[in-house]
Structure 1
Amino acid sequence: MDSRDLSPWFELMPPDGPGPMVVAIPYAGGSGRAFRSLRRHVPSRCGLALVDLPGHGRQAAEPFLHDADQAATGLLAALKTLPATDLVLLGHSLGGVLAYEVAARLTESGTPPAGLVVCGSRAPFTGLGHPPVAHLPAGEPFLRAAVDLGLAAPEMLELPDLAETFGGLLQADLAMTASYRPRRRPPLPVRACVIGFSADWIVPEPALRAWDTLFDSPPLHLRTAGGHLALHERENDYGEAVRAAVEHASERRVP
């Protein structure tokens, strides 16, 4: 495929073998580059497609999305431009919810993904896990509440330029999380893995175990150290957990 045909939703890190393409969807406020370190951990035979939602990363000039249905619809269209059809969907926090929704829609269309990996993500029907803040007035009222909950770094309140750039993006993503209403579906026939973190108060063990009911075979559960953003706090531990998860999720599809 000509690289010019690739959707702007993706930064592509090609494989060196016949493995699946790992489609990595970031957390609220994040962009695909948050996952670049996974190249050192994900099996080299697997490609990496790092997702930028509109308003993020390479799509920074595009309007933000506030609705998970719009995000899933856009991502499904973008997937058609990838040079692979064997996919493992990987999502962190908000990304986990979007990965599940996309996996469900692919399954309903008769093309289920090879696997699904959710990291630091509550099962969709278990709620937010924190008081809602997306409805607060934009700017300092929203950012202060987000910082107090650990959803944004304290520096957001100290660096006006950073706050202006990041605040609207985070608020749109959190609105997407708060508004998501999963449809009732049969359990997905997809190999899945659920990764949780020991110090993540937003996604405690019951919210992780609740994913079990969404698949026709119990997902593999992995736990590692760190808080909600363990991918930055504990990069090696996070990467090794993702490596094991991708191996599990794709083992039936990879020679």
Structure 2
Amino acid sequence: MADPRRLAANGPPVVALIPPSCCGAGYFRRLRRSLGDRADARAVELPGHGRRRLEPPIIEAALAVRDVAERLSGTGVDAVYGESLGAYVALALTGILGVPLLLVASNSPPSVRPPVAGGGVRSLEDAVAALTATGARIPEEVLTHPELAEQAGAMIVGDLRLSWSMIEATRAAKVGADVHVLTGAADPATIAPAAWAAHTTGRCEVSRIPGGHLLSATNPRGVADWIVRVLSGRQAAAG
């Protein structure tokens, strides 16, 4: 398990950033700028997204978590931040890496999600509707631009199936890390954030800031300041 007490001597804390559905590592560009040198932010992306867009999308939870874990191996991660779909990946990843801090944003805990029905996806519109029902939000320009919609179709369907898989894989998951939950004041998709407490044997704290569902896009400075406050509190407690 990473020891936050080492951070004072060895530079800023290392935070892994797991993006929402249909987003690559570039989604966190503004958040990383807002963090500056206050944290060493390591944004990751799954196959089929961003710079890995030519790779086949992953639709199974275990494979997605293993892919991210391999990319973070040996980096000494002190906290994992996951947004929207990334929150479920972060939950599973925290258990594997033994990270002391789990930071989740813009998603309801998997334990309160209704059972996943699956199937019934016959078109891009079906996939978008089903993905939205899981709490995800897809940028409007992706849906209204014909070329972007065509290119993003496989990614959207893949992320829908991955969302279903992640919900079932983490529904009963419980980690030893403290869990800090962040919600946006203008986000109607996130419900029962306090119920994230069911997924930890440690502490669970919920915070709210201005912003919509995609918090790192709508309020990157607010997210950055929140991350730094959580990390600073952990370091103070460990010191």
Q: Which residue of 2 aligns with 1:12?
A: none
Which of 156, 160, 172 is 1:174 aligned to? 160
Instruction: Give the Cα separation in 2 of the matches to 1:203 and 1:144.
Output: 16
Instruction: Give the Cα separation in 2 of the matches to 1:134 and 1:90.
Output: 30
Q: Residue 234 of structure 1: CA displacement?
A: 2.5
Q: Which residue of 2 aligns with 1:189?
A: 176
Q: Which residue of 2 aligns with 1:56?
A: 49
The answer (yes or no) to whether the contact 2:34–2:224 under 8 Å persists in 1 is: yes
Q: Secondary structure at the match of 1:194?
A: strand
Which of 78, 91, 94 is 1:100 aligned to? 91
Q: Residue 17 of structure 1: CA displacement?
A: 5.4
Instruction: Give the Cα separation in 1 of the matches to 2:83 and 2:129.
Output: 23
Q: Residue 122 of structure 1: CA displacement?
A: 1.5
Q: Residue 249 of structure 1: CA displacement?
A: 4.8
Instruction: Give the Cα separation in 2 of the matches to 1:134 and 1:49.
Output: 34
Which of 226, 229, 239 is 1:241 aligned to? 226
**Structure 1 residues 220 and 250, CA gap change in structure 2 (3 angstroms):** farther
1:91 aligns with 2:82: yes
How is 1:69-84 mapped onto 2 (pairs within 5 angstroms)?
A: 69-80=62-73, 82=74, 84=75
**Structure 1 residues 146 and 220, CA gap change in structure 2 (3 angstroms):** closer
* Count of residues in correspondence between the two structures: 228
**Structure 1 residues 177 and 31, CA gap change in structure 2 (3 angstroms):** same
The answer (yes or no) to whether the contact 1:192–1:219 under 8 Å persists in 2 is: yes
The answer (yes or no) to whether the contact 1:147–1:153 under 8 Å persists in 2 is: no
The answer (yes or no) to whether the contact 2:184–2:211 under 8 Å persists in 1 is: yes
Q: Which residue of 2 aligns with 1:158?
A: 144
The answer (yes or no) to whether the contact 1:53–1:59 under 8 Å persists in 2 is: yes
Instruction: Give the Cα separation in 2 of the matches to 1:155 and 1:43.
Output: 29
Q: Which residue of 2 aligns with 1:24?
A: 17
Which of 218, 221, 225 is 2:210 aligned to? 225
Q: Residue 221 of structure 1: CA displacement?
A: 1.7
Which runs of no fewer than 5 residues in structure 2 stay unpaired?
Answer: 1-8
Q: Which residue of 2 aligns with 1:35?
A: 28
Q: Residue 140 of structure 1: CA displacement?
A: 4.5
**Structure 1 residues 229 and 183, CA gap change in structure 2 (3 angstroms):** closer
Deviates more, 1:60-69 or 1:141-150: 141-150
What amino acid is aligned across from residue 23 of structure 1 in structure 2?
Answer: A
| Bigger RCO of structures 1 and 2 (CA < 8 A, at least 6 apart) | 2
Which of 187, 203, 210 is 1:200 aligned to? 187
More helix by share: 2
Q: Secondary structure at the match of 1:118?
A: strand
Q: Which residue of 2 aligns with 1:138?
A: 123
Instruction: Give the Cα separation in 1 of the matches to 2:213 and 2:117.
Output: 17
Which runs of no fewer than 5 residues in structure 1 stay unpaired?
Answer: 1-15, 107-111
Q: Could you state the TM-score of these two structures normalised by the residue count of structure 1?
A: 0.77
Q: Residue 128 of structure 1: CA displacement?
A: 6.5
**Structure 1 residues 74 and 153, CA gap change in structure 2 (3 angstroms):** closer
Q: Residue 101 of structure 1: CA displacement?
A: 0.3
Percent same amino acid at aligned positions?
24
Q: Secondary structure at the match of 1:226?
A: coil
Q: Residue 47 of structure 1: CA displacement?
A: 1.3
Once superposed, what is the RMSD of the aligned Cα atoms? 3.0
> Any idea what the Cα deviations from partners look like across 1:58-88, whole Å, max 9, x if unmatched?
11111001111110011122222x5x31431
Which of 102, 110, 113 is 1:124 aligned to? 110
Deviates more, 1:138-147 or 1:69-78: 138-147
**Structure 1 residues 174 and 247, CA gap change in structure 2 (3 angstroms):** farther
The answer (yes or no) to whether the contact 2:197–2:203 under 8 Å persists in 1 is: yes
Instruction: Give the Cα separation in 1 of the matches to 2:155 and 2:103.
Output: 24
